[in-house]
Amino acid sequence: MKKSLAKTMTAILAAAMVAAGVTACGSDDTAETSTAAVETTAEETTAAETEAEETSEEAAEETEAADAESAEETEAADAESAEETEAADAESAEETEAADAESAEETEAADAESAEETEAAEETEAE
């Protein structure tokens, strides 16, 4: 209990010292500020505005060009993906048809064998 209390008090004291060190002290000196007016001419302002507008227009044109290029690339990738999907679907359909045909042949063969066994069993019973 004493150790816990000692640790807590030490932490509080350390926090108080940090807060006191960070806090700015008051001073009787007044801050010196410049009261000189800033003068700009209309020509300088207009030139700066014109340059900013031109830069904005160039950026907009570059963005539009990049967007158009990106859209074309996306369309090309989508078309390629669609072609690949169609090819895969066609291949899958062919494989399914082949498997169905093979399964049908196996079923017919099994049915024929079963029919032969049934006939042989009937003949054996008839004898």
Tell me the pLDDT tens digit for each residue of 23-75: 766 655 555 555 555 555 555 667 667 777 778 888 888 888 888 888 888 88
Rg of the chain, C-alpha, whole Å: 45
**Residue 77 in this model has a pLDDT that exceeds 60:** yes
SS3 annotation, 50-65? HHHHHHHHHHHHHHHH
Cα gap 28→21, rounded to integer Å? 19
Q: Which residue has the tokens 């000189």?
A: 36
Report field, pTM of the whole predicted structure over 0.75: no
